[in-house]
Structure 1
Amino acid sequence: MNYQALYRMFRPQAFSDVVGQTHVTKTLRNAISKQKQSHAYIFSGPRGTGKTSIAKVFAKAINCEHNDDGEPCNECAICTGITQGTNSDVIEIDAASNNGVDEIRNIRDKVKYAPSESQYKVYIIDEVHMLTTGAFNALLKTLEEPPAHAIFILATTEPHKIPPTIISRAQRFDFKAINEEEIVERLKFVAEEQEIDYDDEALTFIAKTSEGGMRDALSIMDQAIAFGDEHLTLQDALNVTGSVDEASLNQLFTEIIDGDVKSAFTTYHQFVSDGKEVNRLINDMIYFVRDTIMNKTSESTVEYDALMGFELETLYQMIDVINDTLVSIRFSVNQNVHFEVLLVKLSEMIKGQATTVQHVATTSVAAEPNNDVLLQRMEQLENELKTLKAQGVATATSAQPTKKQAPSRGAQSKNAFSMQQIAKVLDKANKDDIKLLKGHWEEVVDHAKTNDMKSLVSLLQNSEPVAASETHVLIKFEEEIHCEIVNKDDDKRANIENVVCNIIDKTVKVVGVPSDQWMRVRSEYLQNRKSGQSDETTSSVEGEHTADTSEEVDVVQKAKDLFGENTVNVIDEE
């Protein structure tokens, strides 16, 4: 008997043999055992993941005379005939070469005839996305109203090319790429069945190279076994795939890091002389950097650590540069030039990173003062702060006679808020109203979030009520632009007022103040109020000290009511 390829020899003959597609096999087994199978299925997914194999197993299970809980027995005449391809009721069609209207019309004409030896006729159409528009239209009516004895299984790697009218008439199963651990386990089973010695590193490499395809993994393994001498080694797998081992890649990256581009060129050309493919080499470099990133984030100890000393951001940039080269060489005639340029790019990028790091380190060391210098600097800053405080008090005192005069800093933000509006709030502010609003402010923000008021949420998230009366509320905003929006945009302000009304059951007018201006505004208001009350007292009671004192006490008490006793500090200016 002629030798069979491993992927054919070990093709799944039952649902239990299938690797990595439990969500498909379990559903189909249950449907068969409960006799609730559909008339049409779409199997979509990457190549070599078991689409056609499961279709044939399904055809056996649905027709098996002794199926066990949805599994075919693989012993009866029908199962044997389907396995050997002699059963005329299981028709497998390659849509890539039979994609015309005439072929589909032929299927449509013959599907109405009853099966000759099985219970169901099963049509397996592989690569169904290759059908023409006319062929899909010819198949449409048959899928919509098929005979009771007919089942269609449409397999494809590109489901997006199938018309929605076809997809909606079939049950769709999306096959997934098989993970490396499951592929390795299957390869071990095949090697033991074939009585072949192997190295674990070889099977792991084959599983990674196959990129989730079991058929690809078995084909690479078959090729590596033929290349070697009855013992499957990592080097055999590397040779048949044109890949480079991690030790050689580590050497190449070490030369790049050292800036020895000439040696890197020599190493690369040695790879080419050994028959390594440029595409595969670039892919191996990407995987090497990726493995370094994984090892750094998991803090693992590795043998090949050429890149372990770099920051993650540098490694991300490396992957981008290498990937750009992979894309460009696909359309290039001379791939060697692109790869050599890649080596230079990586070397220069690493040099730039090293220069930047060295510069930052040198600057940090040079700028680091000793303790004496720090103490002197702190004393200097304290003296400057005392001077500024004194100047600030003098400025505030000189500004008292002119009630409407505003500091220059406030003038910069005069568009964001109005001192007149703020004064209206503070004139009648009291503890009870601000306590009520602060206690329910989180509810106000949550109400905006719950009702999908995205524009309000962005305004209210970094806000806080700082003063409130029966009719007004003063809200402090972290961002000055948010404060300006609330004060200028009538709609936004009305929306906030409605939300507040819903929460505290009280109608109030909203006024905004920037967070960085609030302390100055509060101080200015107190100074202006104190100045105004002193003038009134003087005019009404000619120099009576008791009235003056009474008014000053009122101002102090008002400040304590507004801002709390712990916040207000009374200083005797005399």
Structure 2
Amino acid sequence: MNYQALYRVYRPQAFSDVVGQKHVTKTLRNAIQKEKQSHAYLFNGPRGTGKTSIAKIFAKAINCTVNTDGEPCNECAICTGITKGTNSDVIEIDAASNNGVDEIRNIRDKVKYAPSESKFKVYIIDEVHMLTTGAFNALLKTLEEPPSHAIFILATTEPHKIPPTIISRCQRFDFKAINTGEIEERLAYVAIEQGIEYEQDALAFIAHVSEGGMRDALSIMDQAIAFGDGHLSLEHALNVTGSVDKAALNALFNDIVEQDVKRAFTRYHEFIASGKEVNRLVNDMIYFIRDAIVAKTIEQNDEEHALNQIDLNAMYKMIDCINDTLVSMRFAINQNVHIEILIVKLSELVSSSSSTNNQSAQVSNTTSSAVEAKIKHLEEQINQLSQGGQLQKTKPTESKHSVSRKQSKHVFSIRQIERVLDHANRDDLNLLKEKWKAVIEAVKEKEQRALVSLLLNSEPVAASEDHVLVKFDEDIHCEIVNKDDEKRNHIETIVCEIVDKTVKVVGVPNSQWLEVRQQYIQSKKANQSGSEAGKEEEKPEETDIVKKAQELFGKDTVHVTDE
């Protein structure tokens, strides 16, 4: 006898043999026991999940002469005839190759004749979504009111392509992808029946890559057994499917995390040279990252895992990047180029993620050190007071000014601030003050945490048509805005979206703002008074300077004193 594939040998012959789909088998068995079967059924679900097998078992069960509890006996003439395909009352049609109107009309003409040897005529139409519109219309009336001896079973993997008028005339059963544990148990049973030595890891891997299809699982197992000359191992299963084992994937991602792109390229080309399949490799990479996300979420991190130190946001972006590559590969001539670009992108993602984390850690360390310095200074003052002494105001003040002068060289630019103040006006300042909360809210919505921490304790203090001077409570925040072009550009873009004007942001620390403002007023006053020849015009000019200062900074903040 010729060799038969495992999925044909171990095709279910009774409802009890079906793996998974208990919601379908139980319903059909109960209907047969109570003789309340419908005239039309629609079986839809993924490939290899038992749609056609259950249809044949159902045909046997309703025609079996000695069925018990809705199960066929598989011994009577009718059951054996249906199993062998010799029973003329069970007609199986492939709609992929018989999808025209003429084929359906032929069914419609013959369905009215009584069955020759069975109780019911059963028409099993596989891949029914392939029928043409005319064929569906020809089937419609027959499906609605068939003869009492006829039952139609329609099977499909794409129910959305079937007209609603057909679906509404059928009892619909949705077949589900089979659980990997159930597939693994069935594969173990088949291996024992065939007398084949196997590794449990191989069965688990085959159940995983079959994606819920029992037929696919048995086909892969059959191929792996042939490759291993009667022995089933994980290595054999990996070779026949073109997959990469977890250790090799972990090594590839280690190269990516360490940003050794050259070594990652070499390792990838070794995979291809050993016969690994490109699409399968990309899918394996997605599952590898997915496992890392799950492990980090449930706090069961594996220290040896390549992505153990990568944060969740970076891994989400990595999966998005891989999915984009999968889409591009569908239309690609050379898939290797896309994978190489993917490796570079993943390496850059890891690099940007680590640099962002380091920068935020640096900012937090700087802030904490400043807080510690303030606490220490307060403790010294409390100690002085407790000893009955007076606070030494001169030294701390001098040291504070000297420190601020040193910082001012790095924190902000006097020239930039003067450039803003030279053209500043009250209208633009009022507009930005009104919209500043909206700017901070917009930053929060975009989930840019670093910018939120910068802008949280800030406010505009002067503005012109194309510049805004922003005061920051913390000197370090001011320095970041003035020196980090990327963050400043982000802020300027958001400000532009809110106020509908393109402006440049200049930062000034709160500790220096009053002093800077006073120096600016005095310098303008000196310049204007020096340029005047007569003393009589000094007073009006001085009045103009005061008005200008009041317009810029407000009447409440500007006080005129006689020297």
How far, CA to CA, are the matches of 1:259 and 1:337 in structure 2?
18
How far, CA to CA, are the matches of 1:230 and 1:302 in structure 2?
35
Partner residue, 2:193: 193
Partner residue, 1:57: 57
Please state whether the residue corresponding to 2:346 is helix, strand or coil. helix
How far, CA to CA, are the matches of 1:377 and 1:179 in structure 2?
65
Partner residue, 1:222: 222
Q: CA 1:379/1:42 → structure 2, altered by over 3 Å: closer, same or farther?
A: farther
Q: Deviations over 1:40-74 (max 9, x none)?
A: 00000010000000000000000000101100000
How far, CA to CA, are the matches of 1:305 and 1:137 in structure 2?
57
Contact 2:206 2:220 in 1 (8 A): yes
Contact 1:246 1:304 in 2 (8 A): no
Contact 2:301 2:308 in 1 (8 A): no
How far, CA to CA, are the matches of 2:259 and 2:169 in structure 1?
61
Partner residue, 2:284: 284
Q: Deviations over 1:401-448 (max 9, x none)?
A: xxxxxxxx9xx99xxxxxxxxxxxxxxxxxxxxxxxxxxxxxxxxxxx
Residue 184 in structure 1 maps to residue 187 in structure 2:
no
Contact 2:39 2:152 in 1 (8 A): yes
Residue 361 in structure 1 maps to residue 361 in structure 2:
yes
Residue 315 in structure 1 maps to residue 348 in structure 2:
no
Contact 2:61 2:70 in 1 (8 A): yes
Instruction: Kindly provide the amino acid, as one letter, of the partner of residue 10 in structure 1.
Output: Y
Please state whether the residue corresponding to 1:368 is helix, strand or coil. helix
Q: CA 1:77/1:378 → structure 2, altered by over 3 Å: closer, same or farther?
A: farther
Q: Deviations over 1:520-551 (max 9, x none)?
A: xxxxxxxxxxxxxxxxxxxxxxxxxxxxxxxx
Contact 2:42 2:171 in 1 (8 A): yes
Alignment of 1:377-456 (within 5 A): none
How far, CA to CA, are the matches of 2:10 and 2:257 in structure 1?
46
How far, CA to CA, are the matches of 1:76 and 1:123 in structure 2?
21
Please state whether the residue corresponding to 1:102 is helix, strand or coil. helix
Residue 376 of structure 1 and its aligned partner are, at CA, apart by 4.2
Contact 1:91 1:124 in 2 (8 A): yes
Partner residue, 1:273: 273
Instruction: Kindly provide the amino acid, as one letter, of the partner of residue 158 in structure 1.
Output: E
Residue 305 of structure 1 and its aligned partner are, at CA, apart by 0.6
How far, CA to CA, are the matches of 1:346 and 1:54 in structure 2?
46
Please state whether the residue corresponding to 2:203 is helix, strand or coil. helix
How far, CA to CA, are the matches of 1:144 and 1:304 in structure 2?
62
Residue 139 in structure 1 maps to residue 139 in structure 2:
yes
Residue 365 of structure 1 and its aligned partner are, at CA, apart by 2.0
Alignment of 1:24-173 (within 5 A): 24-173=24-173
TM-score normalised per structure 1: 0.65
Partner residue, 1:518: none
Residue 358 of structure 1 and its aligned partner are, at CA, apart by 1.4
Contact 1:247 1:304 in 2 (8 A): no
How far, CA to CA, are the matches of 1:233 and 1:301 in structure 2?
28
How far, CA to CA, are the matches of 1:7 and 1:353 in structure 2?
48
How far, CA to CA, are the matches of 1:253 and 1:233 in structure 2?
25
Residue 110 of structure 1 and its aligned partner are, at CA, apart by 0.4
Residue 359 of structure 1 and its aligned partner are, at CA, apart by 1.5
Partner residue, 1:23: 23
Residue 373 in structure 1 maps to residue 359 in structure 2:
no
Q: CA 1:350/1:26 → structure 2, altered by over 3 Å: closer, same or farther?
A: same
Please state whether the residue corresponding to 1:73 is helix, strand or coil. coil
How far, CA to CA, are the matches of 2:306 and 2:292 in structure 1?
9
Contact 1:12 1:18 in 2 (8 A): yes
Partner residue, 2:240: 240
Partner residue, 1:397: none
How far, CA to CA, are the matches of 1:205 and 1:233 in structure 2?
10
Q: Deviations over 1:121-167 (max 9, x none)?
A: 00000000000111111111111111110000000001111111111
How far, CA to CA, are the matches of 2:379 and 2:278 in structure 1?
62
Residue 114 of structure 1 and its aligned partner are, at CA, apart by 0.5
Contact 2:124 2:153 in 1 (8 A): yes
Instruction: Kindly provide the amino acid, as one letter, of the partner of residue 190 in structure 2.
Output: V
How far, CA to CA, are the matches of 1:187 and 1:300 in structure 2?
30
Please state whether the residue corresponding to 2:43 is helix, strand or coil. strand
Q: Please provide the CA RMSD for this pair.
A: 1.8
Please state whether the residue corresponding to 1:300 is helix, strand or coil. coil
TM-score normalised per structure 2: 0.66
Q: Deviations over 1:235-277 (max 9, x none)?
A: 1000000000000000000001111100000000001101111
- Count residues with an aligned counterpart: 383
Alignment of 1:448-527 (within 5 A): none
Instruction: Kindly provide the amino acid, as one letter, of the partner of residue 44 in structure 2.
Output: S
Please state whether the residue corresponding to 1:41 is helix, strand or coil. strand
Residue 96 of structure 1 and its aligned partner are, at CA, apart by 0.4
Instruction: Kindly provide the amino acid, as one letter, of the partner of residue 325 in structure 1.
Output: T
Structure 2: state its 5+ residue gaps.
Answer: 382-429, 435-563
Q: CA 1:265/1:353 → structure 2, altered by over 3 Å: closer, same or farther?
A: same
How far, CA to CA, are the matches of 1:262 and 1:60 in structure 2?
62
How far, CA to CA, are the matches of 2:176 and 2:364 in structure 1?
52
Partner residue, 1:206: 206
How far, CA to CA, are the matches of 1:77 and 1:330 in structure 2?
51
Residue 374 of structure 1 and its aligned partner are, at CA, apart by 2.2
How far, CA to CA, are the matches of 1:250 and 1:65 in structure 2?
59
Residue 362 of structure 1 and its aligned partner are, at CA, apart by 2.1
Structure 1: state its 5+ residue gaps.
Answer: 381-408, 414-574
Contact 1:15 1:57 in 2 (8 A): yes
